[in-house]
Copies of this chain bind each other. A is one copy, B any other.
Amino acid sequence: MSRKIRLGAFLPGGGQHVAAWRHPDAPSDGATNIGFHIRLAQTAEKGLFDAYFLADGLSVGFSGGREGGSAKAAGFEPVTLFAALSAHTSHLGFIATASTTYEEPYQLARKFASLDLISGGRAAWNVVTSTGDETAQNFNRDEQLPHAERYRRAREHVDVVRQLWDSWEDDAFIRDKATGEFFGRDRVHEIHYKGEFFQVKGPLNAPRPPQGHPVVVQAGASEDGRDLAAETAEVIFAAHQTLAKAQEFYRDIKARVAAKGRNPAEVLIMPGVAPFVGRTQEEAQAKYDRLTSLILPEEGLALLNGLAGGTLDLKGYPLDGPLPAQDTTEGNKSRQILIREIADRHGFTIRQLYQYVATARGHLTLIGTPETIVDTLQEWFENEAADGFNILPPWLPAGLDDFVQLIVPELQRRGLFREQYEGRTLRENLGLSRPVNPWTEARAQLAAE
């Protein structure tokens, strides 16, 4: 079987683009409309996407200055939503974001095990450390934990969660009505975890998930983030503007994965892509122009400032002039630098910059016909830049409908994408192996000696 492109669909009900909800074809209440989310999930499944992905934060996100009315301020808790969506689908995977900083491993392991059971093996966990003081202030703190501490905690958290998922062996449940033996006491294990941050006895009060472990997803770009991803992740989301940058990241991550003693083929790298597709280039460009024209200037500036971690206040500068030089010594520098690079590369004015960034927030925006868009996807896929893509339809539902109707057939025509789902679980569809239970493995080794 030839290697195939994997596809995630990033489908926040309110749309990815900051002005998505203002589009005439979009429901303005999409962010909190369950019926709309069901329709999106069913469309993604029709398009044979591997998974529906939801980012998530644990605050309203006012601190970036978007108080005027961000459509993303309020939404569903992802695992709760996905449990409901799993009832309306049969093959689509669900990648839910959950925080290692503000959730306890026991509860997190349990809810993902539950989602995996409920969906028949379609759950994935996008591991995030939840940045920002605003979030910390919803969880008994004044300020967030330092970056390095958040990542140490994340590493330990994932470790605890995985041990909990393994605390019951796959064959633990006997359920013999005649003898009354419900499970084998030698097939369930206390984990007695004691680390820097967590002390967890176990076992988990849920069986081992159908997938062994729900798929673990990560999206760190910092040094700590790359290391954590190389150690723990099976799918890695990334944001790149150019093939060269994507290749550099791809090779760096695969090398780190190998250095950790893991198989690089078992770690899928999926850059984000926001496509505007038309039957002609003009039609595609018109879709882009239509959506970008809906961005309110104050919202565009707030978006840039928010993405730069509050370090890029552009109020008062001419919108149709260049980005002014500013101090980059504080805050989240790597993100401000990414934004400045985009402006420099394209020679953007402030307005053009926020229009461009609003679409995909650092991900690649592609405006074109099915052929030209698939040309780019194929180029990245075949040249060590991507194992697949996380598709960010700029507005919904039309951006997703367009992808399914126009781009998926072109991918299939070139033999780059599946004609039907390969399996029933997300792991089977992604081509990822099912984790071996270490307790079971240890027993098998003992028996072989």
A interface residues with partner B (beta carbon < 8 Å): 19, 21-22, 24, 28-29, 32, 34, 57-61, 67-71, 73-77, 79-81, 83-84, 86-88, 102-104, 106-107, 110-111, 113-115, 117-118, 120, 134, 137-141, 168, 173-175, 177, 180-183, 185, 188, 198-207, 294, 296, 299
User: Please, which residues of chain B bring their CB within 8 A of the CB of A79?
Assistant: 80, 111
Q: Are B81 and A206 in contact (CB under 8 A)?
A: no
Say whether, besides A80-B79, A205-B57, A180 and B118 are in contact (CB < 8 Å). no
Could you name 11 residue pairs across A and B whose Cβ atoms are closer than 8 Å? A22-B180, A34-B118, A68-B185, A69-B180, A69-B183, A69-B185, A70-B182, A74-B207, A83-B83, A84-B86, A140-B198
Q: Are A77 and B206 in contact (CB under 8 A)?
A: yes
**Bound complex: CA of A69 vs CA of B176, how far in Å?**
10
Q: Are B34 and A181 in contact (CB under 8 A)?
A: no
Q: Are A114 and B177 in contact (CB under 8 A)?
A: no
In the complex, what residue of chain B is closest to A111 when comparing beta carbons?
B77
Say whether, besides A83-B81, A83-B84, A118-B84, A182 and B71 are in contact (CB < 8 Å). yes
Q: Are A201 and B137 in contact (CB under 8 A)?
A: yes
**Bound complex: CA of A80 vs CA of B214, how far in Å?**
15
In the complex, what residue of chain B is closest to A27 when comparing beta carbons?
B175
User: Please, which residues of chain B bring their CB within 8 A of the CB of A180?
Assistant: 19, 22, 68-69, 294, 296, 299
Cross-chain contact of A69 among B87, B138, B181 (Cβ < 8 A): B181
User: Please, which residues of chain B bring their CB within 8 A of the CB of A76?
Assistant: 114, 117-118, 206
In the complex, what residue of chain B is closest to A87 when comparing beta carbons?
B87
Q: Are A168 and B74 in contact (CB under 8 A)?
A: yes
In the complex, what residue of chain B is closest to A141 when comparing beta carbons?
B199
Q: Are A28 and B58 in contact (CB under 8 A)?
A: no
**Bound complex: CA of A69 vs CA of B187, how far in Å?**
11
Q: Are B200 and A61 in contact (CB under 8 A)?
A: no
User: Please, which residues of chain B bring their CB within 8 A of the CB of A104?
Assistant: 102-103, 139-140
User: Please, which residues of chain B bring their CB within 8 A of the CB of A168?
Assistant: 74
User: Please, which residues of chain B bring their CB within 8 A of the CB of A59?
Assistant: 205
**Bound complex: CA of A29 vs CA of B173, how far in Å?**
9
Say whether, besides A75-B205, A111-B80, A175 and B28 are in contact (CB < 8 Å). yes
Say whether, besides A70-B182, A205-B61, A296-B180, A77 and B110 are in contact (CB < 8 Å). yes
User: Please, which residues of chain B bring their CB within 8 A of the CB of A137?
Assistant: 199-201
In the complex, what residue of chain B is closest to A164 when comparing beta carbons?
B138
User: Please, which residues of chain B bring their CB within 8 A of the CB of A67?
Assistant: 185
Cross-chain contact of A81 among B68, B114, B181 (Cβ < 8 A): B114
**Bound complex: CA of A282 vs CA of B70, how far in Å?**
66
Quote the shortest CB–CB distance from A236 to chain B (angstroms).
Answer: 26
Q: Are B205 and A74 in contact (CB under 8 A)?
A: yes
Q: Are B182 and A138 in contact (CB under 8 A)?
A: no
Say whether, besides A182-B21, A183-B69, A185-B68, A80 and B114 are in contact (CB < 8 Å). yes
**Bound complex: CA of A173 vs CA of B115, how far in Å?**
30
Say whether, besides A60-B203, A84-B84, A21 and B185 are in contact (CB < 8 Å). no
Contacts A34-B118, A80-B114, A140-B198 supplied; 19 other A-B pairs, CB < 8 Å: A32-B206, A34-B117, A57-B205, A60-B203, A60-B205, A70-B182, A73-B182, A73-B188, A74-B204, A76-B117, A76-B118, A77-B113, A84-B87, A84-B118, A87-B87, A137-B199, A138-B200, A180-B294, A180-B296
In the complex, what residue of chain B is closest to A24 when comparing beta carbons?
B177
**Bound complex: CA of A315 vs CA of B381, how far in Å?**
66
Cross-chain contact of A28 among B81, B177, B188 (Cβ < 8 A): B177
Say whether, besides A21-B175, A88-B87, A207-B74, A202 and B138 are in contact (CB < 8 Å). yes
Q: Are B88 and A206 in contact (CB under 8 A)?
A: no
Cross-chain contact of A80 among B29, B83, B185, B200 (Cβ < 8 A): B83
